Amino acid sequence: MSRITVRQSLGNLERDGLIVRRRAKGTRVAEPRIEADLEQIRSFDSDMRAQGHEPVTLAYEIGVVPSEEAVARALGCGVGDSVYRLLRLRGTADRPIGWFETHLPARLRLDLAGDYSGSLYALLENRYGAPVVLVDESLEATGAPPELAHKLGLSAGDPVLKQVRTGYDHNRQPIEYTVVHFRGDIYRYRYRHHR
């Protein structure tokens, strides 16, 4: 085979997401991508299980913090008001996939000694009577800063998908403000539009 044919074949495989090429690191088979459906409200847990993966919380921490401006605006409280902050590293048993930073209003009266390793949406609905029924969400591609890259098993500057989501209850009261960074090499979004 000629070098041109090999290069073109490798380029096609990379474009199709089947291999990953890195300068000075070589070429490897790409890990299967995990898709999130943007047509309906679904939790990370339900997206993972729908594709045959068992979701795992690799680490989490919950506490009360003063709200920053973006959090206060999203949750409809004052800057500096107390809110809950839940930090979670989620993925599968063998790899991290996303770093979740969630803020929740103090009116939920969360149990700080509770278990927050499972689906937050199921917990909010079943234990606190606060189901998320509407979300306002944005997505952007960005590079992972060093601390985030370390948590996700990436190199600094590697691509991540940043999802910013505000969730609302039946009364259109905000009950969740979450910023998630997903590994760009294995996580993608899918949606369908009708004309």
What CATH number is attached to the domain comprising 178?
3.40.1410.10
* pLDDT above 80 for 107: yes
Is residue 82 in some structural domain?
A: yes
Q: Which domain holds residue 175?
A: 34-190
Mean pLDDT score of the chain = 85
**What pLDDT score does 129 carry?**
92
Residues 140 and 68 reside in one and the same domain? yes
CA–CA dist 54, 51 (Å, integer):
9
Domains contained in the chain, number: 2
Confidence of residue 88 (pLDDT cuts 50, 70, 90): very high
Q: Which of 82, 81, 90, 97 has the alpha carbon at shortest distance from 61?
A: 90
CA–CA dist 54, 5 (Å, integer):
40
Q: Extract the tokens encoding 164.
A: 């910013």
Is residue 195 in some structural domain?
A: no
* Amino acid (1-letter code) at residue 21: R
* pLDDT above 90 for 83: yes
Residues 76 and 5 reside in one and the same domain? no
Confidence of residue 195 (pLDDT cuts 50, 70, 90): confident
Residues 81 and 10 reside in one and the same domain? no
Question: Cβ neighbours of residue 90 under 8 Å, at least 6 residues apart?
Answer: 44, 55, 56, 57, 58, 96, 97, 98, 99, 100
* pLDDT above 80 for 34: no
CA–CA dist 157, 179 (Å, integer):
18
| Rounded mean pLDDT, 178-193 | 78
**What pLDDT score does 51 carry?**
73
- Is the pTM here over 0.75, yes or no? yes
* pLDDT above 80 for 94: yes
Residues 40 and 26 reside in one and the same domain? no
- Greater pLDDT, 143 or 28: 143
Cβ distance 48 to 34 under 8 Å? yes
